[in-house]
Amino acid sequence: MTEHVDAQPRPDSLEPQRDPPEPPPATGLMDRLGRGPAPRLVIAVFAFALSVAAIFIALLGPSGLVSDIAAADRAPGLRGLLAAGLLLVPSILLPRLAAAVATRGRGQPLVTWCMAVSLLAAVVAAGGIAAREGLAIWIALGLDGIVGALLGPLVLSALYRRLAPAERLPGLAAALSAVFLGAGLGIGLAHVLLALPGGGPLLAAALVVIAGAAWWLTGRLATTTVGAPPADGELDLAGLARGGVIQAIDRMRARQAPWAAALGIGWFTGLTIVLLAYLPAAARQFLRGDALVEFSLIGLFGLGVTFGAYLALRLTRGEASAAWTPLALIVMIFAAFDAYGVSLGLPAAGEAAGPLSLFAVFAGEGAIRLGLDILFFAAGGGLLSIPLLVLAADPEDERATAHHYAILGMLVGLGGLGMLLAAMALAGLGLGLSGLLLVVALATLAAAPLALRLWPDHLFKQAAAKLLRFLFRVEVTGGHHIPADGTPVVIVSNHVSHLDAPLLAAFLPGTPHFAASAAVSRTFAARLMAKLIKLHPVDTSKPVAVKALIGAVEAGTPMVIFPEGRPTVTGSLMKIYEGPGMVADRAGAAILPIRIEGPQYSLFSRLGGKTHRRLFPKVTIHIQEPRRFDVPAGIAGRHRRQVVGNKLYDVMVEMMFESTDLDLNLWQALLRARTNHGGASPIVEDQERKPLTYNRFVMSTFVLGRALSRLTAEREIVGVLLPNSAGVAVTFFALTAFGRVPAMLNFSAGPSTMASACRTAKVKTVLTARRFVALGKLDEAVKAIGEVAEVVYLEDIRTKLSLGDKLWGLAAARAPRFFHGDAVSKPDDPAVVLFTSGSEGLPKGVVLSHRNLNANQNQIASIVDITGQDKVLNPLPVFHSFGLLGGLILPMLQGVKTFLYPSPLHYRAIPELVYETGSTMMFGTDTFLNGYARAAHPYDFYSTRYIFAGAERVKDETRRIYGEKFGVRILEGYGTTECSPVVAVNTAMQFKPGSVGRLLPAMRARLEPVEGIDRGGRLVVRGPNIMLGYFRPDRPAELEPPADAWYDTGDIVEIDDLGFVTILGRAKRFAKVAGEMVSLAAVEHEAADLWPDFAHAVVNLPDPAKGERLAMMTTCPDADRGTFSKHLHDRGLTELMLPKTIVHVAELPLLGSGKTDYQAVKQALGKG
């Protein structure tokens, strides 16, 4: 028993011994061999492997003492398993002892002692062979198993420690090659000698000579030592054999690479043991060869491993790297499957009379292929294993390296024994050798995830990027915006699919980390992608975890955080959490916005059933300029969090819009929408109840557009006098597709106004329909228009369409670029001419470009969650900018089906249509919405998500009715025709009652002071949706652009610190009463509060005493000045707001857009 010294620390706490000084320069051969550790250690493992292999064959080979071969076509049985167990089980049972010996026993004497025990085993085996006593050979195998369990970790750790980093790979390659070459030579030597008459004594003598020479040589070469031998009593063998294995494995797993490398070597060694055990049987069964053929196959395997080790040295240039692991595995997979295929084509052993010689066997093509497969499989294994032997070590801790190699030995034992047991079990179930080769091939294929895990991160990232680029045609824009390394930055991105993190990890430079919840970090998907995606787990319930995240950002770690917290289920931005903004704020980091576009249409998104998904949509990664939050000093706590959250929201929506491609006309945008949402998706429907899909709609536009192109000139402004219907949609896009500019005529404006509009835009042709003219009683209007332009009826065009036109339209719809060519209109060309309501005189023409309209619909889409499951009901006429953009252009370009209804005045029919069509979105004005609310059943709006209101202020009573009666929130917005039209809008995420929402992305505003008005200012805006300019009646078709690209809305507004806009009134809708400015809109608001169920209009009229006076027209029969005066007094408001005149009417005069016709009101009250 070894004495135990109480004062001695446990092995885990023992310090490694220092290396001795370097030896003097070598002179003789022995000195040169002994100068470094590699030669003697290689000799040791070579001799040991040769001796063990020879003893194994002497015991169990065809001529062995206890041959386990029952027939020529059988593989080793239970005795072979027992022999393998004697060799492998000690490595499984003694990893702790092996590690301790390797850690403390850094001296050459331990190698010599191991070889001495190996010599003892050889002597015992020689005696057994000479006396033909099997028990002695069993004992020898048991001794060699213990020696192998200790010698392996000792040699590997010694080579790793004593060799310079550049020499480690060659040294370990030499050791591994020595093992396989020694084993092959030992098997061959045993076969040859045992086949000779009296060969047993010769083999016994050879074993003793080889083992003795190895023992003597390793001892003789100990002129310099790997370390000093341990002192007496220094090792507590009993203590060393207990525990520590789990801890060592945990350390290896924590470092990932050593554990994966050890698993890879254990897996390959297990397959090697199975193949070496069954190759002799394969030589007999498949090739009908003799003992020399068996030796040749085993020799080929050993040569293959050596060649693979040589390749590893050349390809890695001496650097330990798993860069070639996938190539090695691919070679092994192909070789294994080819070997299985070859085995199926070879004849059975019974078809020949006896064993064939080596030359006879390899004269056949099948034998050569099988030999090459074995060679290449082994070469792949050598190429795989050599770098892994280095990677299994711990470069920072010598003691840990010894433990790692001991665990490696344990995994080798487990893998070899387990795979041998599995192979024998399968063979016992009737699976032949061909089937076992297939199992080996499948086991090789199953190692692919392990090979990828071992692959260097930068190579894995490059491969992932190339694969993703190939599949999804990934394009990255704005890469120059990425800050330099070490700059604190928080990367925020929209989250559209499960591909987002892999895309960012693959295409962003460096190694970005991804903040994720602790639960997500533990998922299988997270572990699977850990090679590419570096997660930073965060438990938000623990402040320490959040501080660690902030600290990582401060330290320069680029941190990716998805502010939405989950992949979108709408296709648009969802709720934005303030967390990423707060991390950037506290870390003093920049925000780098990145938009991922395209994966929402892939199968990796969560939009199944909501949008058209396909296998590999094009993906674009838009990297935008970094931004920093300018938070005013003194703001803290919850208020600071709210301000930062709003700024982050603005960054996200600006990112969504700014990354949108606006360099295309509306026709190109329609074709892109068809691609994104699917040509078979229904997109437009009207009262005819014949929905048009994208494909049919595009075909119809081609057919009609080609016919219209024969009647009009390119870039000509063409009048459109049509109601809301599929026909007006087709006509609009048909003109757009062929480079014409539609001018949408307001058919409610009266004959003279329509004729004036045609003159203002120099319209030569007006498109209409006879049926519409008859139903709308527009004969007088058509007559007035006919004096200015030619009126063309669509019915006449339809009758003149030829079969060729229809066939061309069908073909062009399938291949638009081939048949129609490039786009006729440029993005900045005029797209449509709309006309102002004429409440201030003759209507002006407002010219909007393709970019204006495309920008405005994308501005809305960037802040409103629009999905392919939405359905729009649009009763607003498309001659009005609100109806054109919201009810036609926006839904058609966003993949939303729109139902076009011809009149907003059918108060009973429209709620019924909402119910019948299951519409989820609707556009209207306060006047119309109020009418629908009075006529609708409470369940009519059951499917409605959003009702957008504009053109006039939404009364509180209207908002209350929709909330209480229908459970729907009205989202009020603001816009003007000149702004395409939307400027601001409330959304589900950004909502403030009484306001018109926040400005759209990319909109800039300034408030100019107005004399006499203390609150707010005159709103002047700028953005991509601002019109090209006006057509004035006095200068027809002469474009008058806005000054400096800014547009003066003429509205008095107030913008709060969160960006919400409140309309106070129009500058022209203020009256100067007794020298004080009074808002007419404010007076109307007070009247609505007093008489909420009625409509009111207030105008200013001249007054000789006070300059101006107020007059009100109302539908409330009980309205009177006395009641109004008391109401103003109770509210603490000035008496200047009291109308001097109140006139009762049944209905207020309205424009076609639903707005109050103040010009008519003023004329009526002025006459009174």
pLDDT tens sequence across 582-604: 888 888 889 999 999 999 989 99
968: left (phi over 0), alpha (psi -120 to 50) or beta: beta
For residue 631, give both structure tokens: 């938070």
First-last CA distance in the chain: 125
CA distance 406 to 235: 17
Provide the percentage of residues in the chain whose pLDDT is more than 90.
Answer: 28
| Model confidence at 116: pLDDT above 60 | yes
Q: In the structure, what pLDDT confidence band is assigned to residue 400 with cuts at 50, 70 and 90?
A: confident
| Model confidence at 849: pLDDT above 90 | yes
* The one catalytic residue among 191, 403, 404, 495: 495
User: Which residue, among 414, 422, 413, has the nearest Cα to 440 in the 3D structure?
Assistant: 422
24-69 pLDDT, tens digit each? 444 343 444 444 556 777 878 888 888 888 887 777 655 555 444 3
955 touches 1002 (CB < 8 A): no
1048-1070 pLDDT, tens digit each? 988 889 998 888 999 887 777 77
Q: In the structure, what pLDDT confidence band is assigned to residue 233 with cuts at 50, 70 and 90?
A: very low
Q: In the structure, what pLDDT confidence band is assigned to residue 286 with cuts at 50, 70 and 90?
A: confident
- Fold of the CATH domain 1074-1168: GMP Synthetase; Chain A, domain 3 (3.30.300)
Please tell me the pTM assigned to this model.
0.70
CATH class of 666-903: alpha beta
For residue 806, give both structure tokens: 């229809």
Give the relative orientation of helices 666-677 and 726-737 as an angle to the nearest 10 degrees: 120
* Helix (H), strand (E) at residue 295: helix 291-316
Highest mean pLDDT of the ranges 340-349, 622-631, 738-747, 841-850: 738-747
913-958 pLDDT, tens digit each? 999 999 999 998 888 898 899 899 999 999 999 999 987 888 888 8
626 touches 591 (CB < 8 A): yes
The residue with tokens 């003892």 is: 120
CA distance 350 to 645: 81
CA distance 936 to 966: 9
Mean pLDDT for all residues in the chain: 82
CATH of span 457-658: 3.40.1130.10
pLDDT reported for residue 839: 45
pLDDT reported for residue 424: 79
Domain ranges within the chain, ordered by starting residue: 29-452, 457-658, 666-903, 1074-1168
Beta strand 489-493 with 590-597: parallel, antiparallel or unpaired? parallel
| Model confidence at 1014: pLDDT above 50 | yes
Give 722 or 71, the one with higher predicted confidence.
722
449-488 pLDDT, tens digit each? 777 777 777 778 888 899 999 999 999 999 888 887 778 9
CA angle, corner 714, sides to 710 and 718, nearest 5?
80
Radius of gyration of the chain (CA): 43
**Phi and psi, residue 347, nearest 5°:** -70, 155
Provide the percentage of residues in the chain whose pLDDT is more than 70.
Answer: 88
Q: Most distant CA pair in the chain: distance in Å? A: 143
| Model confidence at 386: pLDDT above 90 | no
Q: Cβ contacts of residue 712 below 8 Å, gap of 6+?
A: 718, 735, 740, 764, 765
Q: Is 495 a catalytic site residue?
A: yes
How far is CA 1150 from each of CA 576, 817, 842, 1160, rounded to the nearest angstrom? 41, 45, 17, 9
Give the relative orientation of helices 78-93 and 257-285 as an angle to the nearest 10 degrees: 170
CATH architecture of 29-452: Up-down Bundle (1.20)
| Model confidence at 227: pLDDT above 70 | no
pLDDT reported for residue 80: 66
CA distance 900 to 691: 11
1110 touches 1098 (CB < 8 A): yes
Highest mean pLDDT of the ranges 241-250, 827-836, 1135-1144: 827-836
For residue 1042, give both structure tokens: 């806005």
DSSP of 529-562, one letter per residue?
TTTT-EEEEE-TT-HHHHHHHHHHHHTT--EEE-
Q: What is the 3-state secondary structure (H, E, C) of 187-250?
A: HHHHHHHHHCCCHHHHHHHHHHHHHHHHHHHHHHCCCCCCCCCCCCCCCCHHHHCCCCHHHHHH
The residue with tokens 């009005």 is: 880
pLDDT reported for residue 348: 59
670 touches 823 (CB < 8 A): no
CA distance 478 to 623: 5
CA 65 to chain centre: 64
Instruction: Report the C-alpha dihedral over residues 1095, 1101, 1104, 1108, rounded to 10 degrees.
Output: 80
For residue 136, give both structure tokens: 């002695």
| Model confidence at 620: pLDDT above 50 | yes
CA distance 162 to 821: 72
How far is CA 106 from each of CA 121, 127, 158, 228, 1132, rounded to the nearest angstrom? 23, 33, 7, 7, 97
Q: In the structure, what pLDDT confidence band is assigned to residue 11 with cuts at 50, 70 and 90?
A: very low
